[in-house]
């Protein structure tokens, strides 16, 4: 069974006013080797509760498409989008500066740069 068909079954259980545990129990009983996990079921139930009743998996906006080169323009656009979404979803953080630490940068160098940047 493919993912789309599982989404349809999750939507069916949602519309029958079943909770995520009941949906997981039923899916595990019927499809023990291929049933989606609890977190996937919870995510789709959250979509349905928000009124997003489509079982199509939407385009993942903002993510790198295959073959896209990550250059400075792409990275700046991604950071701008992140800043805008933080301002929209967490307005109390809008007035604060958000610094991101790139995970492959040595800590001592990134802290020196952050200190220079913040001053």
CA distances from 102 to 78, 105, 110, 111 (A): 14, 6, 8, 11
pTM of the predicted model as reported, rounded to 2 decimal places:
0.50
Of all helices (H) and strands (E), which one includes residue 77? Answer: helix 72-89
Reported as a single tens digit per residue, the pLDDT across 97-110 is 666 666 665 555 54
Q: Can you give the pLDDT at residue 59?
A: 57
- Residues 111 and 47: their CA atoms lie apart, in Å, by 40
Q: Average pLDDT by consecutive 10-residue portion of the chain (119 residues)?
A: 90 93 94 92 90 77 62 75 80 69 55 49
pLDDT in the model for residue 12: 94
Q: Where are the domains of the chain?
A: 3-49, 80-118
Pick the CATH number of 3-49 from 1.10.10.1450, 3.40.50.170, 3.40.30.10, 3.30.70.100: 1.10.10.1450
């Amino acid at each position: 069974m493919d993912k789309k068909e599982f989404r349809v079954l999750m939507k069916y259980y949602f519309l029958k006013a079943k909770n995520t545990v009941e949906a997981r129990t039923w899916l595990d009983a019927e499809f023990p080797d291929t049933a989606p996990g609890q977190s996937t079921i919870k995510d789709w139930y959250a979509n349905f509760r928000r009124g997003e009743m489509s079982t199509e998996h939407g385009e993942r906006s903002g993510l790198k498409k295959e073959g896209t080169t990550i250059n400075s323009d792409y990275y700046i656009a991604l950071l701008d989008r992140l800043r805008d979404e933080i301002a929209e979803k967490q307005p109390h953080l809008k007035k604060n500066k958000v610094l991101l630490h790139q995970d492959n940068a040595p800590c001592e160098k990134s802290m020196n740069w952050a200190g220079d940047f913040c001053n």
